[in-house]
Amino acid sequence: MILVYIQLCMLLVISTLNSLSTSELHPLPLPFSHVDNLYFDPASRTFFLESTTISWDDVIHPLPEPDRPRQYALSPTPASNAYISAIPIEGISLFLLENPGMRTGPSHLFHLMEHLVGLFSFLGPSKAPFVERIILASDGSMEPLRWQGPHSMHSYLINALFPKAQVFTWPEWLNQHPQNLLQFKEAYLSDRGRTVLSSYCMHLNKMLAETAPFLTTDTLDDLASKVQNFCHLTPAKDPDNLFRVTYIQRLPPRTLSSELESKLFEAVRSIERVKLTSVDFSLLPFEEQIRTIANTDLLMGVHGNGLSHVLFLPPKSCVVEILPPSAQCLDYRLFSEARGLSYLALMADRGVIDRDLAYQLGQIGNPNQPIDRLDIEPIVQFIQTCVAHDPE
């Protein structure tokens, strides 16, 4: 009788110790995922799922670049095969994962915003303010990652969208938790590596290609509003009732020739009610960048990172993107369309690229070219149309 009692007690102890909660997957559009009870062992740098039905392809891609493996592993077996307990990591955790070839993605404004736009959209206003931590897992490399951006812009943006979140690089996270299995109670993952599973993402060469239909204007207007509020700004119409065009200056090679730029500026300034301002965002502190954008009705520039600011424009603004000869990237078209902004793209040697042609072509050519020839008349006509629809 005593032996039976001891056996029952031992079974009870084992049952209590072996208390790993089942992993649950809440499907999101590729390359995002939402997992309750995601497990990670820092000692072996291995992710685990307490499940035999969830495929890693729906969470993290095991090998997006076969010749360059990531520096963390995905266990093919449930966590309970090797562990009986885990340290719970409470609250919402965000993981940003990159291909080995793009491990510095969070250091680049556009590529960081690809992650943040999707995560902010799927978390929604009820969860985004309560994110506890953002882990820049990248490709698992232990090399330093300078993610804060020029003028600490990336730090400010994360703080504006996820005010409670603490940001960790991969080495920082591993050094903080060197041992023991960790249980992330609620994890959202953004894995650029999973885009290799989508022919559409590969055609557009855009991480958000599959996600775009799920991005709403209301959500991205809220994103813009949160960034503006963080800087204590409220967009307002020009006091003189002028239509404010902001042109983005940048360093070569993605520039107009001096002669062509002067010709464009002269034509734009000749449009009634238009006030043209030329800015180099790389020289401005974060708050001044957002102040400029909050007081812009139309943003214009050669294809480049500065056009990521379309995400922070006031609602119903307009965008002109100038593309080099025989080259197209859909970065800012995708952001502009998701925000419901009026958008015009011109390719230097082909003129206006409409939406159907843009998505048929996908990403083509070399964007790192100077532009010395361009028909500027479509830009003038587009701005005139935008002005005509702008209430006086």
> How many folded domains does the chain comprise?
2
Which stretches within the chain are classed as H helix? 2-17, 109-127, 153-161, 170-176, 199-204, 217-230, 258-269, 286-294, 331-339, 355-361, 377-388
pLDDT band for position 382 (50/70/90)?
Answer: very high
Residues 244 and 379 in one domain: yes
Residues 111 and 141 in one domain: yes
Residues 207 and 245 in one domain: no
pLDDT band for position 7 (50/70/90)?
Answer: very low
Instruction: Give the 3-state secondary structure of residue 280.
Output: coil
pLDDT tens sequence across 171-217: 999 998 888 899 999 999 999 999 999 999 999 999 999 999 999 99
Is 208 among the domain residues?
A: yes
Q: Which residues are registered as beta bridge partners of 352?
A: 346
Is 10 among the domain residues?
A: no
pLDDT tens sequence across 239-271: 999 999 999 999 999 999 999 999 999 999 999
Non-local CB neighbours of 141 within 8 Å, separated by 6+ positions: 71, 100, 103, 170
Residue-number span of the structural domain to which 272 is assigned: 228-388
Burial 129-168 (b: 16+ CB within 10 A, else e): eebbbbbbbbbbbeeebebebbbebbebbbebbbeebebb
Predicted local confidence at residue 64, as pLDDT: 87
Residues 48 and 195 in one domain: yes
- CA-CA distance, 99 to 32, in Å (whole number)? 15
Q: Which two tokens stand for residue 251?
A: 């360093």
Is 68 among the domain residues?
A: yes
How many Cβ atoms are within 10 Å of 226's Cβ, its own excluded?
Answer: 19
Do 18 and 168 contact (CB within 8 A), yes or no?
no
pLDDT tens sequence across 54-86: 999 999 998 888 888 999 999 999 999 999 999
Express as a percent the part of the chain with pLDDT over 90.
88
Is 36 among the domain residues?
A: yes
Say how many Å lie between the first and final Cα of the chain, rounded: 92
Give the CATH number of the domain where residue 268 resides.
Answer: 3.40.50
Residues 246 and 310 in one domain: yes
Residues 247 and 142 in one domain: no
Of the two residues 156 and 390, the one the predictor is more confident about is 156
- CA-CA distance, 74 to 182, in Å (whole number)? 14
**Final residue of a domain: which of 215, 243, 275?**
215
Residues 82 and 207 in one domain: yes
pLDDT band for position 144 (50/70/90)?
Answer: confident
Residues 55 and 76 in one domain: yes
Own/partner pairs, 153-160, CB within 8 angstroms, 24+ separation: 153/109, 153/286, 153/289, 154/106, 154/107, 154/109, 154/112, 156/230, 156/286, 157/112, 157/113, 157/116, 157/227, 158/116, 158/134, 159/230, 160/226, 160/227, 160/229, 160/230
Q: Parallel, antiparallel, or unpaired for β 318-323 and 342-347?
A: parallel
Predicted local confidence at residue 160, as pLDDT: 98
Is 50 among the domain residues?
A: yes
**Final residue of a domain: which of 169, 193, 215?**
215
pLDDT tens sequence across 204-220: 999 999 999 999 999 99
12 CA to centre of own chain: 47
Q: Which two tokens stand for residue 42?
A: 């820092």
Do 200 and 210 contact (CB within 8 A), yes or no?
yes
Residue position matching structure tokens 């965008």: 319
Mean pLDDT throughout 125-129? 94
Mean per-residue pLDDT over the chain, rounded = 93
How many Cβ atoms are within 10 Å of 15's Cβ, its own excluded?
Answer: 10
Do 322 and 348 contact (CB within 8 A), yes or no?
yes
Residues 28 and 135 in one domain: yes
Nearest Cα residue to 369 out of 227, 255, 240, 280: 255
Residues 50 and 183 in one domain: yes
Residues 245 and 114 in one domain: no
Do 76 and 54 contact (CB within 8 A), yes or no?
no
Residues 97 and 162 in one domain: yes
Residue 13 has pLDDT above 90, yes or no: no
Furthest C-alpha separation in the chain: 99
Residue position matching structure tokens 């449009």: 271
pLDDT band for position 391 (50/70/90)?
Answer: confident
**Final residue of a domain: which of 215, 241, 266?**
215
Is 7 among the domain residues?
A: no
